[in-house]
C-alpha cells in the first residue's frame, strides 16, 4: 500500500526547474533567476536539490549553482519552471520504497482555459525524471492533475479545492465522486476535504496550495483577511466555514490557524507587463491585474520553512507571516525569501518546488 507522505515528513531531496520562459519571467529573467537561486541556497542547507535545465540554458544554470553543494543538475527540456505541477507526485510504501505518479498535465485547463498552448515538454517531465533517478512510476493519464492542487497530512487526508478539481478544463467527464476515488487510490488517502475556493484571481483555477496547507496532522493554515470588502474575504470565509465543520480521516476536528494575506494587494504594473514576451495562445497579463499573493505558498524543507516575502509596503505583513509560521513550526527555521519576482510568474515558492520523500 502506497501513500503520499506529508510535505513536513523527511525529504530525500527537492526537484526544481531553471526559469527561462519569457511569458512568465520576462524577456530578461535575471531577477527571477536570482530569486530562484535564493530558494536553492535555502533548500541545500538541509537536503539535496535536483535542478532541471534545458539544453540551451544548462551552462547558465550550472554557473548559477557553482557555489552550492548538494545540487544535481540534469539536462531536461520543459515548457516552464513549475516543478510542483509538472514533476511527479511521490508516494511511498511500508518498506520505504518510492514511486512517482505521472499525472496528465494540460497547462491548467487545456483548450478550455489553459495558460499556454503547447505543454508537451511539461507533460513528459514526470516520467522522464523518475527514469533519470531509476525510480518506478505509474502513468495516471488521462487523469489531469497538478501537484499544487493537492495537499496531504500523511495520515489519510487530502486537501483540494472544488474550483480547481471540478473545473471544465481538467476531467469534465468524471463526477466528483469518481475524481475523489481516483485520488484515494493513487495517493493512499481515505478522505478528501473539498474546500470551496482558493485565492482570488489565481489563474490555476485556485490551487489549494495557495490557500490552505497542513502544518501538522489535524492542523492547517488558511489564507485570511479581515477586510470584508476585499474580494478574498468571501472565498476564505467559505473555506473557514467548511473546515470548521469537517473532520479528517482519523475523525479529528481540524485546528485552523489564520495566515493573513498581504495587507496591500500586489498588482501587475505597466512596466511589469512590458517586460513579458508572450507566445500565441499564452495567457497574458494586464496592467493593474491583481496577483494571487499568499503566504500559504510556503515550502517545508528538512530544516526550514521557506516563506514568500513581498517587500515594500507589505514588509509588516511579511514579518507577521514569518512570526505565525515560526510559532506553528518551532522545530524548523523560518526563512523569509524575496518572492515578488516568483509571484510575477504566476505562483510562488511552493509552486516551483516538489519534494522527494526519504
126 and 103 Cβ atoms separated by less than 8 Å = yes
- 184 catalytic residue (yes or no): no
Distance (Å, rounded) from C-alpha 321 to C-alpha 308? 9
Looking up cell 518506478, which residue turns up?
Answer: 136
- Element containing residue 172 per DSSP (H, E): none
DSSP code at position 79: S
**Cβ neighbours for 67, distance < 8 A, ≥ 6 positions apart:** none
* Cell triple for 171: 476531467
Closest CA to 114 of 204, 17, 209, 19: 204
CA–CA distances in Å: residue 115 to residues 161, 281, 283, 296: 19, 8, 5, 22
CA dihedral 158, 162, 166, 171 (to 10 degrees): -20
The total of other beta-carbon atoms located within 10 Å of residue 153's CB is 30
* Cell triple for 124: 513528459
- Element containing residue 120 per DSSP (H, E): helix 120-133
Among 130, 164, 322, 351, the active-site one is 351
For residue 223, whether the previous peptide bond is cis, meaning omega lies within 30 degrees of 0, is no
Distance (Å, rounded) from C-alpha 39 to C-alpha 42? 5
Active site residues: 351
Amino acid at each position: 500500500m502506497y501513500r503520499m507522505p506529508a510535505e513536513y515528513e523527511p525529504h530525500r531531496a527537492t526537484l526544481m526547474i531553471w526559469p527561462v520562459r519569457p511569458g512568465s519571467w520576462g524577456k530578461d529573467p535575471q531577477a527571477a533567476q536570482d530569486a530562484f537561486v535564493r530558494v536553492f541556497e535555502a533548500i541545500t542547507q538541509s537536503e539535496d536539490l535536483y535542478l532541471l535545465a534545458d539544453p540551451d540554458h544548462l551552462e547558465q544554470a550550472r554557473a548559477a549553482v557553482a557555489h552550492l553543494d548538494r545540487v544535481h543538475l540534469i539536462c531536461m527540456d520543459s515548457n516552464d519552471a513549475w516543478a510542483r505541477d509538472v514533476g511527479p507526485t511521490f508516494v511511498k510504501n511500508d518498506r520505504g520504497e518510492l514511486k512517482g505518479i505521472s499525472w496528465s498535465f494540460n497547462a491548467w485547463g487545456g483548450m478550455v482555459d489553459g495558460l499556454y498552448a503547447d505543454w508537451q515538454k511539461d507533460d513528459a517531465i514526470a516520467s522522464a525524471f523518475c527514469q533519470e533517478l531509476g525510480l518506478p512510476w505509474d502513468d495516471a493519464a488521462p487523469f489531469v492533475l497538478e501537484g499544487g492542487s493537492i495537499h496531504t497530512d500523511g495520515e489519510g487526508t487530502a486537501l483540494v479545492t472544488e474550483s480547481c478539481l471540478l473545473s471544465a478544463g481538467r476531467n469534465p467527464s468524471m463526477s466528483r465522486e469518481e475524481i475523489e476515488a481516483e485520488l484515494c487510490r493513487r495517493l493512499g488517502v481515505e478522505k478528501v476535504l473539498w474546500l470551496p475556493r482558493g485565492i482570488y484571481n489565481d489563474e490555476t483555477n485556485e490551487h489549494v496550495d495557495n490557500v490552505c496547507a497542513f502544518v501538522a496532522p489535524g492542523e492547517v493554515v488558511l489564507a485570511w483577511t479581515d477586510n470584508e470588502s476585499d474580494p478574498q474575504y468571501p472565498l476564505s470565509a467559505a473555506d473557514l466555514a467548511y473546515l470548521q465543520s469537517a473532520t479528517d480521516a482519523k475523525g479529528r476536528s481540524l485546528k485552523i490557524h489564520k495566515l493573513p494575506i498581504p495587507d496591500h494587494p500586489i498588482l501587475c504594473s505597466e512596466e511589469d507587463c512590458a517586460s513579458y514576451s508572450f507566445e500565441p495562445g499564452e495567457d497574458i497579463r494586464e496592467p493593474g491585474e491583481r496577483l494571487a499573493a499568499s503566504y500559504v505558498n510556503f515550502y517545508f524543507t528538512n530544516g526550514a520553512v521557506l516563506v514568500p516575502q513581498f517587500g515594500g509596503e507589505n514588509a509588516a505583513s511579511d514579518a507577521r507571516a514569518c512570526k505565525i509560521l515560526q510559532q506553528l513550526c518551532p522545530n524548523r527555521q523560518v526563512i523569509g525569501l524575496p518572492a515578488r519576482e516568483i509571484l510575477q510568474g504566476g505562483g510562488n515558492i511552493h509552486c516551483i518546488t516538489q519534494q522527494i520523500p526519504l
